Amino acid sequence: MFEAVAPGYDRMNRLLSFGLDQGWRRAALRDLKVKPNARILDLCCGTGDLGLALPRGPLRVGCDFTPAMLEIAARKARTGRVAFPVVAGDAMRLPFRPESFDRLIVGFGARNLSDLRAAFREMHRVLRPGGRVVILEFSQPTGRFARWGNRLWLRTGVPWLARLLAPGPDAYGYLRDSVLEFPEPEAIARTLASGGFERVSWRPLWFGTVAIHSGRAVTEGRPGSDRGIGAAPPGAPRRAPPSAASLPPTAAGRPRPPRPGARRAE
């Protein structure tokens, strides 16, 4: 499904959000609190809008389940002469060593993961102690009229616009359903806390149609680990996807498709 919509993905995001999605991404990046020497994972990176918007300096790595999306992200990185290596990977079985990153961000991808608890545990595993996670995701407003208007747009406006402009309108029917079925922000906060994060919080944007969740990886009770990028998680086959550190600085070539187990971001 995401392979089919990849060529028009950025254009449809602008149209379906009335151009507001870029501002939401900038707000999430501010909450990420990036430091100059940080190592950052853009998980469910899609075509790279979030990762490529990060300030120059920190090491940024993109990871996604859909190779067609990664090819677009790598092409955009080459065009902008930005170092943004990308790796094909499953969010429930990330191809990185424990404590590989200082920051992790997910933009409009959490609702597409088949097991949120497992994904949050993996995010915690690859973050260093005290590392920060930020998740930008669609949400349901709490106000009666805002909630009614949002549901009306999702049920009628989104499919109609997708039929006019998108090569795969079924994918945007999926977008509607995935937003409507995604847990409330309070439930996401509880799941993050159960996945090993502390200081968990969330804040609504645009009348509550979008939420930014954040947390810090717990610093106590973590198993010993070999810090670094490129090794498979415990129990995985020894042959892992390519190391992000070994990829060319501005492109990743054609990433190898990952194992089944997770769905990609909208």
Domain harbouring 111, CATH code: 3.40.50.150
Structural domain span for residue 30: 18-142+183-219+226-239
Domain-located, residue 97: yes
Domain-located, residue 175: no
Domain-located, residue 171: no
Domain-located, residue 40: yes
Q: How many domains does the chain have?
A: 1
Domain-located, residue 27: yes
Distances in Å between the Cα of 44 and the Cα atoms of 91, 157, 198 are 8, 25, 22
Nearest partner of 84 among 130, 111, 50, judged by Cα: 50
Domain-located, residue 165: no
Domain-located, residue 70: yes
Domain-located, residue 114: yes
Distances in Å between the Cα of 201 and the Cα atoms of 80, 118, 135, 139 are 34, 20, 11, 15
Per-residue pLDDT of the chain (266 residues; tens, 9 = 90+): 888 888 888 888 888 788 899 999 999 999 999 998 999 999 999 999 999 999 888 999 999 999 999 999 999 999 999 999 999 999 999 999 999 999 999 999 999 999 999 999 999 999 999 999 999 999 988 888 888 888 888 888 777 776 766 555 566 677 788 888 899 999 999 999 999 999 999 999 999 999 999 999 987 655 444 444 554 444 443 333 334 443 333 334 444 444 444 434 34
Tokens of 141: 């407003």
